[in-house]
């Protein structure tokens, strides 16, 4: 073999490990650069070719930045808590830590083979007590802080207690759940238990009885981002609503900052949009509608206060706290039936029946705040308890849902904004003149809104309000394999453990299942209590707990006394480049931004946003292959002939198919079922069908990087993954193309070797042509890396090697910089060539080559000449010629005369160095 990649790659991986080539430390002499990959959950299936895509891109960038003179932090670790290991533990009784450790080992072996420049000295694992100590520590800080809306900043809870002691809670602008007002005197006379209950409404980590997403199959609650269309994202199990006492994080306090922060990060527009939608800011007003014959008012939120005169009925959610209070005896039974029906309908059913109108009149009436007219109050499940105030003023003329409801129940529809035709449909647009609206008549919508809000505020019956869709994050899980809460209960009041007791380690249990009484698995642990005998919290933390600040821990991973030292955070600051999947848009990427903002408020982190630039690598899709079985037989017909038979399509392992041609012997051995299979061939071959699908075991289209490395080497794999297409695009994996990259690697090798595979590089003077090839490649590669266009960079390398081969160039002055140039992409072969060139230091220490314009300058410019926009011929003209000279040269040419056919050109357009266009 001319280039023995197996031996050579192994040799340099050992060298890098032994020489600690990738171990870095704070170095104030150099500018820092932090390149982070989203750390993986180590699943039992190992890595497939889709996983390393982002890691390869970030590795190329890290190596490049390092060679450009930066001190690059490029760590890797494991998001080690997760459901699969626990589900496996439930089935087999094996401790999830054992499964996890085994999977991590496998991941590490696979990662090592690809030749990454990770500083493994900084590895973190979220399930490691020395790591989750700081997850627990942060939770304690969240518990001990509240959010001041005025300052837009977290503050110590002790400060709030002092305020309460001095002046009670009246007039405070603090993120909290609804709390009755109390005076300083009242506060000071409260029992501790009562004080603690009140404080719970203000804490950033708090315990609350709320509606949660309960997944019976997983036996746990889930956060909103873990539920999609009524099913759990992990596992796809049904999720229902249930009222439970849970820990929550008051992420909603940070809504405004989470939204504004998006304007200051370099992320894709689509990802930022997803987050903006998820946060869901809407401006409007809350308005109080007094309920007739009751001493209470219904508070509604609306973004269209201008349409208040068009409000002809009210709707409250079935779960609304006033539903029972205001219902008249006459309607009590019907309301009870409706609420029960609505409650029993699963989320899934509600979604499926979106178009169906349902609701029930309560018998109660509100009084319109301006017209004083009575307005009927309905209960309907198209109003959600969890959004706004759980009640609306319905304006059927200008809201399509209210319109459908009004039509169904035959309620009046009053037009208040002109511009639509309400006989046919509601007019929802925010433009038009106000009509039928008393003091608003004649105004444009945009002017009516502030006017009506001012009037509401003057009368004290409403106010301007900004509402967010974002909900507080449910932070408890009724599972075993997660971080224990540093919490114990004393008289049912939760208390935080003293920091000296951290980490609170996960206890052993006999089974990984809930107890008979339905408590979480931790309740099975013996002595699950403090030294003083107080019971410890039995819930564990969710998956996003451990991943919310791991990027900070990498900066100072062995620090036992702080999450991160001021020295480390001052130097490393934040993540400059973060690469990972877009599936974390509404989970991890929101939570960690929130988490970081909190840590910023309490002085731990130093940047408001943790991830300066973020790139979502596209998903690698699978390319499945099919065979066609003639129904009822064991005969398989080639794709082109399948129409002549009645066939069924069967997935076949892509690893026994090459260029869509089936390896028949391998197929027979693949599964005993096919041992005696017979085939109907086309030109002696069995042609398979193909389709792009998700890469999955069940489709038999999974490609393992280990197999490819064994066959082609890691450098080839790295290059091919990049060559597939733009980093951010979803693209199908087709192993067939890898041969082209493999050929390129061997061609690169041959450039430095003679026909006998002996290293042979001369020290002759490079020709201008050779220098030009080198320097235009340096220019192109540098530009491409900086814009993360790795696929075009690989093409540029191929062109470069093709041209140097053509020139038979084997000169050291060209081949030396070339080795450095390619080293971020193909580090093994580059390192080998570098040492063959006589260097002793590792190539990773070298400076990246810089191109020189003088070598690239062209003497001649090639002009395509077109007539009426159609290119007809090309002409070379000396560089630097004026437009006039170009015009004269071109018009004098025979070919030009041929196309002119004796006519005089009407106009000649000359774009210097680009094109000549002659208009006839």
Of 597-636, which residues contact RNA (CB under 7 A)?
none
Helices and strands (H and E) in the chain: how many: 30, 33
User: Are the C-beta atoms of residues 588 and 548 closer than 8 Å to each other?
Assistant: yes
For RNA, the closer of residues 256 and 734 by Cβ is 734
For RNA, the closer of residues 290 and 740 by Cβ is 740
Closest contact distance (angstroms) between CB of 26 and RNA is: 38
Closest contact distance (angstroms) between CB of 916 and RNA is: 8
Q: Which listed residue (138, 246, 302, 540) binds RNA by CB under 7 A?
A: 302
Closest contact distance (angstroms) between CB of 295 and RNA is: 24
Closest contact distance (angstroms) between CB of 770 and RNA is: 18
Q: Which listed residue (304, 593, 597, 629) binds RNA by CB under 7 A?
A: 304
Report the candidate in 21, 73, 71 with the shortest Cα–Cα distance to residue 553: 73
Listed in sequence order, the DSSP H helices in 415-492 are 445-459
Q: Which listed residue (7, 149, 277, 710) binds RNA by CB under 7 A?
A: 277
Rounded to the nearest angstrom, the gap between the alpha carbon of residue 194 and the centroid of all alpha carbons in its chain is 41
Does 651 bind RNA (CB under 7 A)? Our answer is no
Residues in contact with RNA, counted by CB under 7 A, come to a total of: 85
Of 747-786, which residues contact RNA (CB under 7 A)?
747
For RNA, the closer of residues 389 and 816 by Cβ is 389
The token pair that represents 892 in the structure block: 């004098």
Of 549-588, which residues contact RNA (CB under 7 A)?
582-583, 585-586
Angstrom distance (rounded) from CA 775 to CA 769: 10
Closest contact distance (angstroms) between CB of 622 and RNA is: 13
User: Are the C-beta atoms of residues 484 and 505 closer than 8 Å to each other?
Assistant: yes
Of 858-887, which residues contact RNA (CB under 7 A)?
862, 864, 866, 868-872, 874
Angstrom distance (rounded) from CA 41 to CA 258: 26
Does 515 bind RNA (CB under 7 A)? Our answer is no
Residue 906 burial (C-beta neighbours within 10 Å; 0-12, 13-18, 19+)? exposed
Does 894 bind RNA (CB under 7 A)? Our answer is no
Q: Which listed residue (650, 725, 812, 900) binds RNA by CB under 7 A?
A: 725
Q: Are strands 374-379 and 360-367 parallel, antiparallel or unpaired?
A: antiparallel
User: Are the C-beta atoms of residues 818 and 837 closer than 8 Å to each other?
Assistant: no
Rounded to the nearest angstrom, the gap between the alpha carbon of residue 740 and the centroid of all alpha carbons in its chain is 33
Angstrom distance (rounded) from CA 149 to CA 151: 6
Concatenated DSSP letters for 251-301? Answer: GGGGHHHHHHHGGGSB--HHHHHHHHHHH-EEEEEEEEEEBTTSS-EEEEE
For RNA, the closer of residues 548 and 735 by Cβ is 735
Which of 697-722 are b and which e, b meaning 16 or more Cβ less than 10 Å from the residue's Cβ? eebbbbbebbebbeebbbbbbbbbbb
Angstrom distance (rounded) from CA 674 to CA 656: 13
Closest contact distance (angstroms) between CB of 135 and RNA is: 25
Does 267 bind RNA (CB under 7 A)? Our answer is no
Closest contact distance (angstroms) between CB of 520 and RNA is: 27
Q: Quick one: which segment of 225-233, 332-340, 491-499, 816-824 binds RNA (CB under 7 A)? A: 225-233
Does 799 bind RNA (CB under 7 A)? Our answer is yes
Closest contact distance (angstroms) between CB of 727 and RNA is: 9
Report the candidate in 729, 703, 727 with the shortest Cα–Cα distance to residue 785: 727
For RNA, the closer of residues 306 and 574 by Cβ is 306
Count CB neighbours of 488 within 10 A. Answer: 21
Q: Quick one: which segment of 194-202, 345-353, 430-438, 447-455 binds RNA (CB under 7 A)? A: 345-353
Q: Which listed residue (732, 766, 817, 827) binds RNA by CB under 7 A?
A: 732
Does 659 bind RNA (CB under 7 A)? Our answer is yes
For RNA, the closer of residues 97 and 692 by Cβ is 692
User: Are the C-beta atoms of residues 799 and 731 closer than 8 Å to each other?
Assistant: no
User: Binding mask 282-301 vs RNA (x if CB under 7 A, - otherwise)?
Assistant: x-x----------------x
Q: Quick one: which segment of 108-116, 326-334, 730-738, 808-816 binds RNA (CB under 7 A)? A: 730-738
Of 809-828, which residues contact RNA (CB under 7 A)?
none
Does 273 bind RNA (CB under 7 A)? Our answer is yes
Does 499 bind RNA (CB under 7 A)? Our answer is no
Q: What letter does residue 216 receive in the DSSP assignment?
A: T
Q: Which listed residue (352, 850, 879, 911) binds RNA by CB under 7 A?
A: 911
End-to-end CA distance of the chain: 62
For RNA, the closer of residues 109 and 760 by Cβ is 760
Helix or strand holding residue 384 (H, E)? none
Does 893 bind RNA (CB under 7 A)? Our answer is no
Does 3 bind RNA (CB under 7 A)? Our answer is no
Which of 403-418 are b and which e, b meaning 16 or more Cβ less than 10 Å from the residue's Cβ? bbbbeebebebbbbbe
Scan for tokens 């041992």, then name that residue.
675
User: Are the C-beta atoms of residues 74 and 10 closer than 8 Å to each other?
Assistant: no
Q: Quick one: which segment of 105-113, 276-284, 540-548, 594-602 binds RNA (CB under 7 A)? A: 276-284
Does 740 bind RNA (CB under 7 A)? Our answer is yes
Of 390-449, which residues contact RNA (CB under 7 A)?
390, 392, 399, 401
User: Are the C-beta atoms of residues 906 and 854 closer than 8 Å to each other?
Assistant: no
Q: Quick one: which segment of 271-279, 289-297, 430-438, 837-845 binds RNA (CB under 7 A)? A: 271-279
Query: Percent helix, strand, coil in the chain (nearest 5)?
Result: 40, 20, 40
- Rounded to the nearest 5 degrees, what angle is found at the Cα of 869, between the Cα atoms of 865 and 873? 25
Q: Quick one: which segment of 128-136, 184-192, 237-245, 352-360 binds RNA (CB under 7 A)? A: 352-360
Q: Which listed residue (6, 28, 167, 270) binds RNA by CB under 7 A?
A: 270
Angstrom distance (rounded) from CA 419 to CA 445: 11
Does 789 bind RNA (CB under 7 A)? Our answer is yes
Q: Quick one: which segment of 43-51, 108-116, 673-681, 733-741 binds RNA (CB under 7 A)? A: 733-741
For RNA, the closer of residues 80 and 308 by Cβ is 308
For RNA, the closer of residues 190 and 875 by Cβ is 875
Q: Are strands 860-867 and 915-919 parallel, antiparallel or unpaired?
A: parallel
Closest contact distance (angstroms) between CB of 889 and RNA is: 17
Peptide bond into 503 cis (omega under 30): yes
Listed in sequence order, the DSSP H helices in 823-917 are 827-836, 853-856, 883-892, 894-900
For RNA, the closer of residues 96 and 388 by Cβ is 388
Closest contact distance (angstroms) between CB of 316 and RNA is: 9
Q: Quick one: which segment of 322-330, 769-777, 793-801, 815-823 binds RNA (CB under 7 A)? A: 793-801
Angstrom distance (rounded) from CA 280 to CA 468: 5
Does 737 bind RNA (CB under 7 A)? Our answer is yes
Does 356 bind RNA (CB under 7 A)? Our answer is yes
Report the candidate in 529, 517, 518 with the shortest Cα–Cα distance to residue 484: 529
Of 126-165, which residues contact RNA (CB under 7 A)?
none
Q: Quick one: which segment of 599-607, 790-798, 838-846, 850-858 binds RNA (CB under 7 A)? A: 790-798
Q: Quick one: which segment of 25-33, 106-114, 354-362, 840-848 binds RNA (CB under 7 A)? A: 354-362
Does 730 bind RNA (CB under 7 A)? Our answer is yes
For RNA, the closer of residues 27 and 802 by Cβ is 802
Report the candidate in 452, 460, 468 with the shortest Cα–Cα distance to residue 305: 452
For RNA, the closer of residues 493 and 692 by Cβ is 692
């Amino acid at each position: 073999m001319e280039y023995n990649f197996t031996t050579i790659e192994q040799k340099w991986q050992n060298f890098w490990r032994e020489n600690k080539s990738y171990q870095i430390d704070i170095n104030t002499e150099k500018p820092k650069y932090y390149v982070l990959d989203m750390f993986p959950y180590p699943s039992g299936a190992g890595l497939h070719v889709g996983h390393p895509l982002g890691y390869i891109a970030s590795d190329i960038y890290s190596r490049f930045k390092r060679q450009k003179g930066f001190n690059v932090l490029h760590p890797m670790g494991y998001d080690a808590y997760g459901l699969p290991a626990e589900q496996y533990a439930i089935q087999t009784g094996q401790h999830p830590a054992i499964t996890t450790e085994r999977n991590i080992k496998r991941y590490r072996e696979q990662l090592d083979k690809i030749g990454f420049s990770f500083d493994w000295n900084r590895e973190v694992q979220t399930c490691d007590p020395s790591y989750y100590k700081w997850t627990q520590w942060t939770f304690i800080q969240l518990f001990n802080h509240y959010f001041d809306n005025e300052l837009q900043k977290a503050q110590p809870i002790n400060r709030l207690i002092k305020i309460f002691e001095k002046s009670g809670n009246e007039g405070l602008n603090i993120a909290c759940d609804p709390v009755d007002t109390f005076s300083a005197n009242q506060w000071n006379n409260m029992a501790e238990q009562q004080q603690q209950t009140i404080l719970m409404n203000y804490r950033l980590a708090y315990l609350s009885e709320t509606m949660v997403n309960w997944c019976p199959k997983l036996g746990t609650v889930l956060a909103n981002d873990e539920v999609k269309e009524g099913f759990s994202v992990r596992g796809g199990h049904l999720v229902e609503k249930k009222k439970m006492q849970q820990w929550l994080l008051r992420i909603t306090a940070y809504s405004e900052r989470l939204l504004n922060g998006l304007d200051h990060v370099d992320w894709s527009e689509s990802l930022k949009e997803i987050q903006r939608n998820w946060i869901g800011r809407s401006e409007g007003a809350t308005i109080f509608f007094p309920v007739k014959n009751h001493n209470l008012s219904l508070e509604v939120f609306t973004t269209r206060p201008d349409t208040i005169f068009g409000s002809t009925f009210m709707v409250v959610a079935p779960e609304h706290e006033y539903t029972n209070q205001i219902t008249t005896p006459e309607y009590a039974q019907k309301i009870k039936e409706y609420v029960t029906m609505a409650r029993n309908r699963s989320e899934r059913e509600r979604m499926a029946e979106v178009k169906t109108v349902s609701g029930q009149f309560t018998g109660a009436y509100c009084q319109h705040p301006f017209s004083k007219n009575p307005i009927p109050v309905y209960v309907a499940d198209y109003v959600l308890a969890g959004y706004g105030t759980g009640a609306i003023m319905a304006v059927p003329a200008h809201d399509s849902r209210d319109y459908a409801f009004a039509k169904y129940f035959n309620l009046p529809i009053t037009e208040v904004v002109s511009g639509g035709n309400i006989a046919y449909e509601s007019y929802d647009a925010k433009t038009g003149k106000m009509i039928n609206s008393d003091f608003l008549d004649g105004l444009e919508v945009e002017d009516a809104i502030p006017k009506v809000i001012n009037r509401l505020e003057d009368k004290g019956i409403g106010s301007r309000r900004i509402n967010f869709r974002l909900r507080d994050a449910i932070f408890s899980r009724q599972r075993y394999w997660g971080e224990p809460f540093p919490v114990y209960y004393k008289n049912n009041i939760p208390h935080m453990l003293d920091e000296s007791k951290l980490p609170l380690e996960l206890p052993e249990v006999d089974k990984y299942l809930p107890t008979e009484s339905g408590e979480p698995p931790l309740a099975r642990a013996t002595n699950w209590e403090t030294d003083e005998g107080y019971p410890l919290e039995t819930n564990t933390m969710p998956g996003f707990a451990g991943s919310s600040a791991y990027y900070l821990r990498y900066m100072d991973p062995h620090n036992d006394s702080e999450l991160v030292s001021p020295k480390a955070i001052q130097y490393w600051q934040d993540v400059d480049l973060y690469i990972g999947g877009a599936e974390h848009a509404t989970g991890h990427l929101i939570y960690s931004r929130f988490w970081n903002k909190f840590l910023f408020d309490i002085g731990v982190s130093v940047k408001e946003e943790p991830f300066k630039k973020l790139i979502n690598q596209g998903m690698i899709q699978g390319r499945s292959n099919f065979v066609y079985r003639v129904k009822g037989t064991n005969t398989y017909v080639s794709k082109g002939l399948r129409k002549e038979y009645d066939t069924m399509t069967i997935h076949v392992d892509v690893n026994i198919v090459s260029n869509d041609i089936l390896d028949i012997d391998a197929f027979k051995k693949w599964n005993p079922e096919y041992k005696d299979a017979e085939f109907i061939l086309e030109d002696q071959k069995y042609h398979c069908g193909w389709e792009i699908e998700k890469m999955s075991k069940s489709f038999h289209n999974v490609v393992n990087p280990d197999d490819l490395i064994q066959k082609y080497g890691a450098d080839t794999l790295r290059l091919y993954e990049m060559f597939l297409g733009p980093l951010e695009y979803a693209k199908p994996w087709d192993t067939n193309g890898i041969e082209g990259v493999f050929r390129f690697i061997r061609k690169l090798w041959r450039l430095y070797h003679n026909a006998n595979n002996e290293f042979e590089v001369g020290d002759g003077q490079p020709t201008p042509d050779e220098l030009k090839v080198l320097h235009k490649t340096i220019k192109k590669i540098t530009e491409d890396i900086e814009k993360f266009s790795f696929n075009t960079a690989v093409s540029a390398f191929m062109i470069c090697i093709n041209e140097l081969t053509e020139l038979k160039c084997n000169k050291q002055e060209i081949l030396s910089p070339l080795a450095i140039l390619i080293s971020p992409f193909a580090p093994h072969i580059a390192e080998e060539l570098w040492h063959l060139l006589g260097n002793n230091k590792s190539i990773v220490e070298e400076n990246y080559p810089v191109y020189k314009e003088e070598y690239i300058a062209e003497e001649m410019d090639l002009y395509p000449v077109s007539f009426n926009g159609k290119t007809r011929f090309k002409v070379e003209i000396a560089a630097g010629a004026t437009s006039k000279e170009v015009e004269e040269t071109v018009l004098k040419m025979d070919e030009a005369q041929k196309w002119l056919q004796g006519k005089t050109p009407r106009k000649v357009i000359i774009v210097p160095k680009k094109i000549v266009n002659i208009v006839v």
